[in-house]
Amino acid sequence: MSGRSENLPLMLKPAAKDYLWGGTRLNDDFNLGLEANPLAEAWLCSSHPDGESLIANTDITLSEVLKKNPNFLGTHVTSLAGGEMPVLIKFIDAKKDLSVQVHPDDEYAKKYEGQLGKTEIWYVLDARPGAEIIYGFRRRVTETEVRNAIANGTLDNLLNHVSVHSNDVFFIEAGTVHGIGAGCLIAEIQESSNLTYRLYDYDRADKNGLKRPLHIDKALDVAKLSPSVSPRQPMRVLKYKDGTASELLARCKYFQVERMLLNTEIRRDLATFRTGRNSFHVLLCLNGCGSISWDSHSMNFFKGDCIFVPADGKAIKLHGRAIFLDISC
């Protein structure tokens, strides 16, 4: 594995995060087998030092493979993150409310933190009745108003709450104050950053009895204080070919996300998947199962599996009945 140079698919093993607001659904629903309780996040495809994915059945990290095989990322990616993996892909189980938070853009993050900022999208896998997200402010606010509201526990009165449902998509641009509400199960695709500024954390204490730190000054440096228009769901059009149907969920300068429906069970031929433009792809199985094959080799995939497909690799064939997210740059 360490000397690998062939552009072949890699099954990944996620890193686990046991943040206090998490639950058990990531193991229950996706059979990830991660040893964390609560299990708040599974970093499915990550080369970030705070939580690196492993190549399945090895102790080799994805970042080690990419350092030895930078061509796996594709030429398009080098301009995004200096040859590093530009995206981080995760599952989130919000049994309880996440903090009210904001992420800086690249310019601020590089200047003050020496790392990337964070723009992200959320794809809602499931949401209990009445589940909500926080998306910006209801009206234009001032820094003084926000500080006073945090101090007296009334920040929620200023925030824009949006109902969520399974299959919804939300684009969270850097600078947008946001929060995931209790009862949401989400797939998140983001820049490869773990930089979060908390505005409010519901006065909670962690497992050691300590309150998690807030970052009010930095948060207000980067937060958009103008009112946020409640996000509308994007127009989605299914395109059919070769045993698959796909629809574009989001596209920005950092990543592209499509939802792919695979059904070759009633076809003689397998669906052929090519990387297209010179970028890696990550196939995240949200439901179903099947197999992926190349040359004389194949491997099975199941709900919850995450597969890294190197750029400019051989065409691979997919067989089965499944729903994927297809992430590329």
Q: How far is CA 230 from the centre of its chain?
A: 21
Separation CA 61–CA 53 (nearest Å)? 6
Separation CA 223–CA 165 (nearest Å)? 26
Full DSSP string of 199-254 = EE-TT-B-TTS-BPPP-HHHHHHH---SBPPPPPPPP---EEETTEEEEEEEE-SS
Active site residue 198: yes
Which class for 306: exposed (0-12), middle (13-18), buried (19 or more C-beta within 10 A)?
buried
Residue with tokens 């629903």: 29
b/e per residue, 223-262, with b = 16+ CB within 10 A?
A: bebeebeebeeeeeeeeeeebbebebbbeeebbbbbbbbb
Query: Out of 25, 198, 251, 277, which one is annotated catalytic?
Result: 198
Which pair of tokens denotes residue 188? 């998140």
From residue 190, how far is each of 119, 122, 252, 277, 307 by CA, in Å? 6, 9, 11, 20, 17
3-state secondary structure of 173: coil
CA angle 10/15/20 to nearest 5° reads: 155
Separation CA 15–CA 17 (nearest Å)? 7
Residue with tokens 């299959």: 167
Q: Name the residues annotated as catalytic.
A: 198
